[in-house]
Structure 1
Amino acid sequence: MFLIVGLGNPGKQYEHTRHNVGFDCLDALADQYNISICEKKHKALVGKGVIEGVKVVLAKPQTFMNLSGESVAELVNYYKLNPEDEMIVIFDDISLAPGNLRIRKKGSAGGHNGIKNIIAMTGTQNFMRIKVGVGEKPKGWDLADHVLGHFNKEDQAKVEDAIKDAICAAGMMVQGEVDRAMNDFNSKKQEA
């Protein structure tokens, strides 16, 4: 079984912001594989289903981003999962341009508070992740204003393509094809 977590903030005012791209990826994944994410438990909205023949639990923590680890740790413990082999976290990355993905088998938090909290609460940084590029903050902007803001039309189109790529990557990763997913999706997209 795999736990796939999409990070974001609960609440209408945060829908489709840069920081909620993990939620958007999870919603798209759920649509693709006919999984309903509506059960409230473990401080998350949860749905169970099958992706490419593998049982999965999809989770959108409802703790707000900086406390995502509280929900993730509960899910890992409840389902008796090894986060190092059976968990994928999908989240926004400001160091990647919109439309780009970076897939990693493990790594540090890289300044992302949601990931920092997951590492603290699960006791490991060795879990798979799909980072979705949302672009750097403009000079002089507050980081919170940037990540809680919405994409312009051009960037939104690029991010929608990245979400489709993230779905494909997750499908490969649950089948144990992490290296293939990294090879297919870690290259930078060229500016058109």
Structure 2
Amino acid sequence: MIVGLSNPKIQYHTTRHNVGSWFVYCLAKRYIKVFKEEKKFFGFTSFLNTQSKFIRLLVPNIFMNINGKSVFQMASFYNIDLEEILIIHDDLELKPGVSKLKYSYGHNGHNGLRNIINTFNKKTNFYRFRIGIGRPINQHDISSFVLSTPNKIEKDLIKKSILYAIEETIYLLNIKN
């Protein structure tokens, strides 16, 4: 399962906090996959095929701090363990244009990851792509920063890092056309 963390699509799609959803939509577009809203999973879903697996795609359509509800619902329904989920999220510690694949336990202060860990109630390592969005100059502005739209230069850098992360994902999962 691949999950792009997000806030509700209509209000927040263009914000920094939704770069996880940008990744998943871009990945699906590459394979001409369409998303459908599935209320039972509190989000939008699609799928991809690999040489040996069927990969479910999920973009939660609920607030970031409760994304765990959406991820857990879909994972439980399809019997997918947290260790089998790749989570894509924004990261304040990385500059725009930088993405990093990580396999570990922890949330590093990210509310979406924190909620997923708490909802699954497991202390286990899981995969995630950290997509850099940078930090605001004033540390007190973090909430408004992540909920704002990046400027054109930042957006271009973020999109490049997403394309790079998608190429890595395709390579690692051996996704076929």
1:96 aligns with 2:101: no
RMSD after superposition: 1.6
Mapped to 2, the partners of 1:103 and 1:56 lie a distance apart of: 18
Mapped to 1, the partners of 2:172 and 2:88 lie a distance apart of: 12
Letter in 1 for 2:71: V
Offset of residue 53 of structure 1? 5.7
Give unpaired runs (5+ residues) of structure 1.
Answer: 176-192
Mapped to 2, the partners of 1:151 and 1:121 lie a distance apart of: 30
The 1:173–1:105 alpha-carbon spacing in structure 2 relative to 1, beyond 3 Å, is farther
Give unpaired runs (5+ residues) of structure 2.
Answer: none
After TM superposition, the score normalised by the length of structure 1 is: 0.84
The number of aligned residues is 172
Q: Secondary structure at the match of 1:142?
A: helix
Equivalent runs, 1:38-187 vs 2, <5 Å? 38-40=36-38, 41-51=40-50, 54-84=53-83, 86-124=84-122, 125-139=124-138, 141-175=140-174
Check whether the contact 1:33–1:51 (CA below 8 A) recurs between aligned residues.
no
After TM superposition, the score normalised by the length of structure 2 is: 0.90
Show structure 1 runs of 4+ deviating over 2 A: 51-54, 172-175
Mapped to 1, the partners of 2:119 and 2:65 lie a distance apart of: 12
Offset of residue 71 of structure 1? 0.8
Mapped to 2, the partners of 1:39 and 1:12 lie a distance apart of: 13
1:78-110 Cα shifts (integer Å, max 9, x gaps): 1111221x2100000001000101111123100
